[in-house]
Amino acid sequence: MLGASALVASVATPTRVSTALAPRFASARDKVLRVILVYGQSLAFGNTGVSTAFPPLNVTPRAGADFLMLPPRIGAYPEGGLSPFRNQQYGTTKAADFVGDLQAAFEQSNGTPGINNETICTALVLTYRRHLPVGSRFAAIVGGRGGTPIAELARGGDPYTNLMQCLTALRDKAQGQFPGTSVQVDAVAWLHGEADLAATEAHYLAAERRLFSDLKADIEAITGQTAPIWFVVGQPAFLNGGSVIGPSLAKVTHAATASNVLCAGPQYAWGDYVDNAHPVPAAYVWGGCAFGHVLAEAATGANKPLLHAVSATRADNRIFVKFNVPRGALRLSPAISDPGFLGLRYTDDASSARVVGAKIVKSDTVRLTLSAVPTGGNPRVGIADFGVGNPGRASGARSPLCDGTQRTHAFTGESIPNYACMQRIAVRA
């Protein structure tokens, strides 16, 4: 497997890497081309929201030899002309657009300031591949549209149609370039939620379930695969002065109730944000690595890495919040500053009490001490569920709670903890 030592990280604007497809790609014993689809709004394709040079992913030729993308003229989304994958006839694709063979992924970087469409996608794939057998082959398609509600990304809309057209083109090109190859979508990484700020948890969850069901059916119809398709989601970080809490709550509920849905945790953990919605470039890479690890852990047979609260029980003015802890015991990550009381708060309809103390008391339990015995209705504990200001590890809503999962960044070697999900959970007496 290709280790992190073979990757060359750079903070300069990405440049093209001329990488001939390795001969072993065509003759590999593994005749399955594993595809990752990255779909959603602007975070799916690495938009910083500002015109600053994008960093990392200059890599050695070897790193790109077994990782393919469609030619630059074929793409699954438009984004102001900045995308090297932009479909020039968006929604009404012409046959002329689908000219050219699959190319090594790192020939695609166009160096445009402010955007690099492989940033999160490439980090995801390179992290995922480190967990799979040597000789595994990969391809990726990035799709969606910035600032677009989930209803407009559903089946029947241009973004969805274009994504399926691109998958069909990738299948046909792979089978033409590499006879005997079958195409299999291993996962869809879904980066979305900020455009549905007002959605309730129930509304967004229903829409996401429909979308994933449609994607699964249409992907299987194109590829003919029987292998499982994983859906990997992240919890959107908070907007300035408010939150996207409905979509964030829906994502952890979806992951907890569906066998093929994985939650990569809160996106504030990625790092700094340049505005209230878009991370800085290095944070996109961190997020891609986190998505890749979560996918690999589930796909290779480990338990789903979902660290989330499962109950909150009150005794007088104390509340015991119990978590599902996938690995090890609850602990505090030094990478996330504590906003107070481990990022947990108490609410009820009468504002009858507030948290005045928080402590990990068991491997899976946090004890909250309240200012008084609460008397209001609808009592709840929030976990990183409210905040003002740009998201990040030292601002906005956040919690340092994580478990004992050991992961490393594919480029820097830094730790990537498994953080507690953003939640609101009812309290029972």
pLDDT digits (tens, 9 = 90+) for 188-225: 999 999 899 889 999 999 999 999 999 999 999 999 99
CA 418 from centroid of its chain's CA atoms = 13
Q: Show pLDDT as tens, one digit a residue, over the chain (429 residues).
A: 222 222 222 222 233 333 344 344 444 456 899 999 999 988 887 765 443 333 434 433 334 457 887 765 455 544 433 333 333 333 444 445 566 788 776 544 444 333 344 568 888 988 998 888 877 889 888 888 888 899 999 999 888 988 898 899 899 989 988 888 999 999 999 999 989 988 999 999 999 999 999 999 999 999 999 999 999 999 998 765 556 789 999 999 999 999 999 999 999 999 988 877 888 878 888 999 999 999 999 988 877 889 999 999 999 999 999 999 999 999 999 999 999 999 999 999 999 999 999 999 999 999 999 999 999 999 999 999 987 778 899 998 999 999 999 999 988 889 999 999 999 999 999
Residue reference for tokens 């290709």: 2
What pLDDT is stored for residue 330 in this prediction?
A: 98
Which pLDDT score, from 0 to 100, does residue 120 have? 81
pLDDT score at 307: 97
pLDDT of residue 399: 97
123/267 Cα distance (integer angstroms): 15
Q: 197, 200, 195, 207: which is closest to 249 by C-alpha? A: 200
Q: How far apart are the first and last CA of the chain?
A: 52
pLDDT, one tens digit per residue, over 414-425 is 999 999 999 999
How far does CA 208 lie from the centroid of its chain? 15
Nearest C-alpha neighbor of 116 from the set 142, 145, 138, 91: 142
Angle between helices 281-299 and 119-129 (to 10 degrees): 30
Structural domains of the chain in order of their starting residue, each with its CATH number: 18-299 (3.40.50.1110), 308-426 (2.60.40)
Distance CA 294, CA 160 (A): 25
In order, the DSSP letters of 331-363 are EE-TTS---SGGGEEEE-TT----EEEEEEEET
Look at residue 242 in the predicted model and tell me its pLDDT: 59
| Whole-number pLDDT of residue 65 | 55
Q: Over pLDDT 70: what percentage of the chain?
A: 77
Residue ranges of the alpha helices (H) in 258-410?
Answer: 281-299
Please report the pLDDT score of residue 301 as a whole number.
80
Pairing of strands 67-69, 103-104: antiparallel
Write down the residue that tokens 């689908």 correspond to: 98
